[in-house]
Amino acid sequence: GAAARAWAWLLARVAMVWSTVAGSARKVWRIGADDPRKAVHGLKVGLSLALVSVFYYTRPLYDGVGGAAMWAIMTVVVVFEYTVGGSVYKSFNRAVATASAGVLALGVHWVAGKTGELEPYILTGSLFLLAAAATFSRFIPTVKARFDYGVTIFILTYSLVAVSGYRVDQLAALAQQRVSTIAIGIFMCLAVSVFICPVWAGQELHLLTTRNMDKLADALEACVDDYFAEDPAARPAQAKSDGYKCVLNSKASEDAQANLARWEPAHGRFAFRHPYTQYGKVGAAMRACAYCVEALSSCAGAEVQAPEHVKRLLHDACARVGARCARVLREASRSVATMKSYSALDFAVADMNTAVHELQGDMRSLPSMLAVKLADTSLMDTMPVFTVASLLVEISARVEAVVDSVDALAT
């Protein structure tokens, strides 16, 4: 009856909610399983906060830094970032901005104190002007890239000190306390982030570049195979030929990581002033290459296709160019990965150029080949294949540009 229906409805509801929850849980689990360092990062943040709070419970130390221990916790929460570069960037910005804004505010406070009645006007006016100027400075690209967080902290510290009702000597004691707690927070944060499973932005950028280069090589080969595959079932997996899309969309993360990497100390094979900006140029060269691969992959899906027997005429030459371009990219990726220049890379480039010359020769001799072998085929039918071949020639030129940028990185 009605009770049974209601019960069934309830069961269905519960099952639905359960499957939604289980689905999300599986997704979240995948994020952690794919990159356990993300889960470790969570534990690291928990650990540093627990350390700071233990510090806070220990009486003798507590008496030393006073009630301002709050600032140590705040510092850890806002400064701790996924990469070491991010943590250093925020720590440096926080320390320098707090110190400079504090000193400036104390000075203005002292001057304003001498003027007597005008004090609130001077303080509020200077707050208005400084906040406006500092906020506007965030639109300057260099400031935005390197000191964005520092500007926020500068405004914050200046406002807190400027509007506080304390006398200057009280403020100086407060400032000294504040500086020591922030230093404790920063120290804890950097120690945990550098010594426990560190994630270096420089290394991430490095890995991203080599991984993208390998993906681009795979995608290039897959697209050529895809175009010439006679049997649709024999086509390579879509996932492989879609690899170039990662390259197309990686500009933002490359820029962000290059920005953070510049703050990192020397680590592993990365010196303090490793030429991180050069990775951006390699990335730009790879993207230029990926644009062409995109055009190539759209040829494989185009409506108007050359007949199979015409495709077969250029199949070998095109496949060779595709394979050699991919080999050059893989060698370049190995050169970036190991930070060495190999003669194998030069050989691969020479091989690629030979293959391109052969392809161009085949393209030139196409009309005579057609006249001999396939008299019934119009030359116009060969046009789509010709487009693919000329895209491959353009791609090889862009692959060479990638190699040039990689060489600049290696030296």
Contacting a second copy within 352-391 (CB under 8 A) = 363-364, 366-367, 378-380, 383-384, 386-387, 390-391
- Residue 7 Cβ vs a second copy, minimum distance, rounded to whole Å: 34
Rg of the chain taking only CA atoms, in angstroms: 31
- Residue 343 Cβ vs a second copy, minimum distance, rounded to whole Å: 27
Q: In 3-state terms, what secondary structure has residue 270?
A: strand
Name residues contacting a second copy, limited to 286-315 (CB under 8 A). Answer: 287-288, 291-292, 294-295, 298, 302
What backbone phi and psi angles, to 5 degrees, belong to 274? -55, 140
Binding string, residues 183-222; x marks residues near a second copy by CB under 8 A: ----------------------------------------
- Among residues 268, 81, 272, the alpha carbon closest in space to that of 186 is found at 81
* Cβ–Cβ < 8 Å for 171, 102: no
Q: Which residue, 92 or 386, has its beta carbon nearer to a second copy?
A: 386
- For tokens 């001057």, the residue is 111
Q: Dig out the tokens for 326 from the structure.
A: 């991919």
Name residues contacting a second copy, limited to 28-87 (CB under 8 A). Answer: 28, 31-32, 38-39, 41-43, 45-47, 49-50, 53-54, 56-57, 69-70, 73-74, 77-78, 80
Name residues contacting a second copy, limited to 137-176 (CB under 8 A). Answer: 137, 139-140, 152, 155-156, 159-160, 162-164
Contact call for residue 129 and a second copy (CB under 8 A): yes
- Residue 294 Cβ vs a second copy, minimum distance, rounded to whole Å: 5
Name residues contacting a second copy, limited to 250-279 (CB under 8 A). Answer: 251-252
- Residue 11 Cβ vs a second copy, minimum distance, rounded to whole Å: 29
Q: Which residue, 131 or 145, has its beta carbon nearer to a second copy?
A: 131
Q: Could you give the count of Cα atoms lying within 13 Å of 34 in the half-sphere of its Cβ?
A: 6
**Number of chain residues interacting with a second copy (CB under 8 A):** 76
Q: What dihedral do alpha carbons 284, 289, 294, 300 form, nearest 10°? A: -170
Cβ within 8 Å of residue 207, ≥6 positions away: none
- Taking residue 19's Cβ as centre, other Cβ atoms within 10 Å add up to 10
**What whole-number distance in Å separates Cα of residue 247 and Cα of residue 227?**
21
